[in-house]
Amino acid sequence: MSFLGELKRRNVVRVAIAYAVIGWVLAQIAEFAFENFGAPEWVLKSFVVLLLLGLPLVLFSAWAFELTPEGIKREKDVERSESITS
């Protein structure tokens, strides 16, 4: 299996896309809110940096863990034949 195939199987690609979309929406909301409340410019920059720093953590979690009907389990503890990932 190729590396890209493994990323897709573990839903890392799907999580990365979802994180990017949600992060963009949160940044847009924060820009509007911070501007209206008169927050300094560094607050928005710090918020965006925190979103960017969170991306590797989220991608690592998507790689290492899998959501199952019993809850979150480590990927190596879930047999591929019993995986619910599509």
Domain encompassing residue 67: 3-82
pTM reported for the whole predicted model: 0.80
DSSP string, 9-44: HTTHHHHHHHHHHHHHHHHHHHHHHHHHHT--HHHH
- At residue 60, the pLDDT reads 92
pLDDT digits (tens), the chain, 86 positions: 688 888 887 888 999 999 999 999 999 999 999 999 999 999 999 999 999 999 999 999 988 888 777 777 777 666 665 556 55
- Number of domains making up the chain: 1
